[in-house]
Amino acid sequence: MGFATKAIHVGQEPDPLTGSVTVPLYQTSTFAQEAIGKHKGYEYARTQNPTRSAWERNMAALEDGTDAISFASGMAAIDAIARLFDAGDHVLLAEDMYGGTFRLFDTVLSRHGLRFDTVDMRDLDAVRRALRLDTKLLLTETPTNPLMTISDIAALAEIAHSSGALLAVDNTFASPYFQRPLQLGADIVVHSATKYLGGHSDLVHGVVVVRSEELAERLHFIQNAVGAVPGPFDCWLLLRSVKTLALRMEQHQRNALAIAQLCSSHPAVERVYYPGLPSHPQHELAARQMSGFSGMVSIELGSRQKADRFIAGLRIVTLAESLGGVESLVCHPATMTHASIPEEVRLARGITDGLVRLSIGIEDSADLVEDVRDALDNCR
């Protein structure tokens, strides 16, 4: 079954009671039971909900996983992965990751005894050197936020498994349409479903997909025990949204490539970060493990002043946090998504005051190109 067919049909079979072709929204906190210990598979909505179950079945199919476990946000999903481990265990994080992920490990999880280090996941020898006897998890993003670096998922899986660790991949920027890490050897995939999966900037959600039934059982337990679960309406919205994921991702990519090519030739831009360009240092790796390059483009303008002038010159692209919606957004990582990272660390990683991140939407390409070109002309 092809991707678009799975997105439309898996977990979304017509309702057997009424024939509804749309999964019903079960907006309830509890379920009537016929007798003590006798129910229809549902007891309490924190533990399970039919709309949520349909969404989880659909998401597991899209990532070619055994099961999916959904959460109230992407950060709640990453927190649940961390809760698989014990105080004293060690985690390796990609050094170029979303600032909220770094903040979670640095200021919350470390206080409860989980130890972590960051490493350049592009450098496989550096990853091997960073492994410790107590390393239990490698967590990476690919492409990363906001510098679009690419991790070799298959190689990292081999390294992790050889040391008895798990590999988790944040697949938010690629979406399962363009990349499926479980097929490449990863054990866990996590998404901020707020982004491309939701696609319309109208919900906050996170989801984890796993290969093994044992991991699924443990994460479902954490989901219920901790209680950071999504509401059924968000799950219903996601079931609606993924039906058009294939169409949306193709248009995101077409528009992003046009913007990346424009920026590559514009004198106001010092550097373009987009794995779909042959000039990207890991373009060949990206082409090998991805079927497309998604809609995220970052550009280095050289100074905060130029970044301010560029953003002020945009008319269609909106200054806002988040990404992956149908509308194009612009973000200043140093003061927005990565503001929680210490300045010296941020600058060492290349997240400068002149770096701007673009989430390219699905508007008419010509309109976006004109808008970005005018804004670039404005900041020269």
Name the catalytic one among 170, 187, 353, 371: 170
DSSP letters spanning 173-190 = TTHHHH--GGGGT-SEEE
β partners of residue 358: 297, 330
**Could you give the CA distance from residue 349 to residue 95 in angstroms, rounded to a whole number?**
8
Q: Which of 82, 46, 43 is nearest to 226 (CA)?
A: 46
Q: Is the distance from CB of 324 to CB of 196 less than 8 angstroms?
A: yes
Name the catalytic one among 52, 122, 195, 357: 195
Q: Which of 74, 325, 320, 327 is nearest to 199 (CA)?
A: 325
195 part of the active site: yes
Query: Would you call 227 helix, strand, or coil by DSSP?
Result: coil
Q: How many helices and strands, by DSSP H and E, does the chain display?
A: 14, 12
Q: Is the distance from CB of 196 to CB of 65 less than 8 angstroms?
A: no
98 part of the active site: yes
170 part of the active site: yes
Name the catalytic one among 26, 98, 177, 273: 98
Q: Is the distance from CB of 148 to CB of 274 less than 8 angstroms?
A: yes
Q: Which of 79, 78, 69 is nearest to 48 (CA)?
A: 69
Tokens at 334, concatenated = 């140093």
Tokens at 357, concatenated = 């991140």
Name the catalytic one among 46, 103, 240, 373: 46
**Could you give the CA distance from residue 293 to residue 178 in angstroms, rounded to a whole number?**
7
Q: Is the distance from CB of 307 to CB of 352 less than 8 angstroms?
A: no
Helix, strand, coil % in the chain, rounded to nearest 5: 40, 15, 45
**Could you give the CA distance from residue 114 to residue 40 in angstroms, rounded to a whole number?**
39
Helices (H), the chain: 3-9, 50-62, 74-82, 99-103, 124-130, 153-162, 175-178, 213-226, 232-242, 245-265, 283-289, 304-312, 343-348, 365-378
**Could you give the CA distance from residue 82 to residue 12 in angstroms, rounded to a whole number?**
31
**Could you give the CA distance from residue 137 to residue 165 in angstroms, rounded to a whole number?**
5
Q: Which of 123, 180, 179, 178 is nearest to 155 (CA)?
A: 123
Name the DSSP class of 301.
Answer: -
- Annotated catalytic residues are 46, 98, 170, 195
